[in-house]
């Protein structure tokens, strides 16, 4: 079994401060860390265009970017699933909220907007008129994402909505001349949706409006390999949100719940493989029978701290 824990790797300085809490909060997890063999994998979002967790998802599916692509290009066919069986590049647009911020503009991804299917359909129907004659085509393929067709020759290097939501729109918004038609289309869409009935209703409900689209993808389905067998991987993302916001009280509370509900019931069996992700790295921890015998040697049980909170 493999357990994936997005957000489980704090930054090194914060990780050192949290170390003393692990024994009390998650003793089962700590024992797995002490007895496992770790492999650290760099994950630079500036290069990949996606979060470390998304990087792990793509690499486990054997995705390799083609010419002119970054790693995040594989997210569109990955998320489109069976809808992307053809060999054409898959581009998705995520329904998002964009607002001015201190750094230029901030993005809230669809998963934080509570968009209903009815709202998505209404917004899609209003957007179709804008797309007519632009060279872009629009297909409704779900509540949070729509599939786009792009004009020939336009294949921008994009970032995932999740990464943009924890950085800045300005860092990833295409500024080249070739992207001008897309920028113009998005601007017109934002004006159309400003007082759309869907957003008027969302205002009354105390929700932020769905006021923009974020484009990403570009890879084809044949760049992905078949997924692992069902049940072989468990992903628990309760640590992700508090880790991103540096809410370490909330992070420890979520870790305690994972210990009670997930880790402790597995304590009597074989230790699982672990995948931990942070802001710029991934650590895979595999059970190591030899390590269980050597853990009593001086310093052996503390070896995990070298990768948990590495020092420059």
**How far apart are the C-alpha atoms of 85 and 139, rounded to whole Å?**
15
- Which band of pLDDT confidence, cut at 50, 70 and 90, is reported for residue 227? confident
- Which band of pLDDT confidence, cut at 50, 70 and 90, is reported for residue 254? very high
Give the C-alpha distances (Å, rounded to integers) separating 147 from 41, 80, 188, 217: 32, 8, 19, 10
**How far apart are the C-alpha atoms of 168 and 12, rounded to whole Å?**
23
Residue 290 has pLDDT above 70, yes or no: no
Residue 231 has what pLDDT?
65
**How far apart are the C-alpha atoms of 166 and 151, rounded to whole Å?**
29
- Which band of pLDDT confidence, cut at 50, 70 and 90, is reported for residue 298? very low
Domain layout of the chain by residue ranges: 2-47+226-305, 63-223
Q: Give me the percent of the chain exceeding a pLDDT of 70.
A: 93
Helices 117-131 and 197-204, packing angle to 10 deg: 150
| Tens of pLDDT, residues 126-171 | 999 999 999 999 998 889 999 999 999 999 999 999 999 999 999 9
Signed CA dihedral, 137, 140, 141, 143: sign only: positive
The residue assigned the tokens 């647009």 is 93
Q: When comparing pLDDT for 228 and 104, which is higher?
A: 104
- Which band of pLDDT confidence, cut at 50, 70 and 90, is reported for residue 181? very high
Residue 154 has what pLDDT?
93
Residue 229 has pLDDT above 80, yes or no: no
User: Do the beta carbons of residue 1 and residue 234 sit within 8 Å?
Assistant: yes
Burial class (CB in 10 A: 0-12, 13-18, 19+), 105: middle
| Tens of pLDDT, residues 77-107 | 999 876 556 678 999 999 999 998 777 799 9
- Mean pLDDT (the chain) is 91
Q: When comparing pLDDT for 226 and 119, which is higher?
A: 119
| Tens of pLDDT, residues 47-56 | 999 999 999 9
Specify the range with the lowest mean pLDDT, choosing from 146-150, 227-231, 288-292: 288-292
User: Residue by residue, what is the 3-state secondary structure of the chain?
Assistant: CEEEECCCCCCHHHHHHHHHHHHHHCHHHHHHHHHEEEEEEECCHHHHCCCHHHHHHHHHCCCCCCCCCCHHHHHHHHHHHHHHCCCCCCEEEEEEEEEEECCEEEEECHHHCCCCHHHHHHHHHHHHHHHCCCCCEEEECCCCEEEEECCCCCCCCCCCHHHHHCCCHHHHCCCCHHHHHHHHHHHHHHHHHHCCHHHHHHHHCCCCCCCEEEEEECCCHHHCCCCCCCCCEEECCCCHHHHHCCCHHHHHHHHHHHHHHHHHHHCCCCCCEEEEECCCEEEEEEECHHHHHHCCCCCHHHCCHHHHCCCC
Nearest CA among 245, 108, 217 for reference residue 168:
108
Residue 278 has pLDDT above 60, yes or no: yes
Residue 83 has what pLDDT?
57
Tell me the average pLDDT across 6-15: 94
């Amino acid at each position: 079994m493999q357990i994936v824990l997005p957000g489980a790797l704090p930054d090194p300085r914060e990780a050192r401060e949290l170390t003393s809490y692990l024994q009390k909060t998650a003793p089962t997890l700590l024992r797995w860390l002490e007895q496992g063999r770790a492999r650290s994998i760099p994950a630079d979002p500036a290069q990949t265009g996606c979060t470390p967790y998304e990087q792990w998802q793509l690499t486990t599916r054997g995705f390799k970017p083609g010419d002119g692509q970054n790693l995040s290009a594989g997210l569109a066919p990955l998320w489109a699933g069976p809808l992307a069986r053809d060999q054409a590049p898959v581009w998705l647009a995520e329904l998002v909220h964009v607002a001015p911020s201190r750094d230029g503009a901030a993005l809230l991804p669809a998963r934080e907007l509570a968009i209903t299917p009815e709202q998505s359909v209404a917004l899609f129907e209003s957007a179709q008129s804008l797309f007519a004659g632009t060279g872009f085509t629009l297909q409704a393929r779900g509540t949070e994402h729509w599939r786009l067709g792009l004009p020939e020759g336009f294949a921008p290097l994009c970032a995932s909505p999740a990464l943009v939501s924890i950085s800045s729109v300005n860092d990833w918004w295409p500024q080249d001349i070739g992207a001008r038609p897309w920028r113009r289309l998005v601007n017109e869409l934002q004006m159309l949706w400003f007082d759309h009935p869907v957003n008027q209703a969302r205002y009354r409900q105390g929700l932020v409006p769905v006021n923009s689209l974020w484009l990403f993808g570009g890879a084809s389905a044949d760049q992905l390999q078949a997924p692992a067998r069902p049940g072989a991987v468990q992903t628990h993302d309760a640590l992700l949100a508090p880790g991103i916001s540096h809410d370490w009280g909330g992070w420890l509370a979520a870790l305690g719940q994972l210990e009670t509900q997930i880790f402790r019931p597995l304590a009597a069996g074989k230790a699982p493989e672990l995948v931990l992700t942070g802001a710029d790295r991934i650590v895979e921890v595999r059970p190591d029978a030899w390590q269980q015998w050597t853990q009593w040697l001086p310093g052996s049980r503390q070896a995990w701290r070298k990768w948990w909170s590495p020092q420059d």
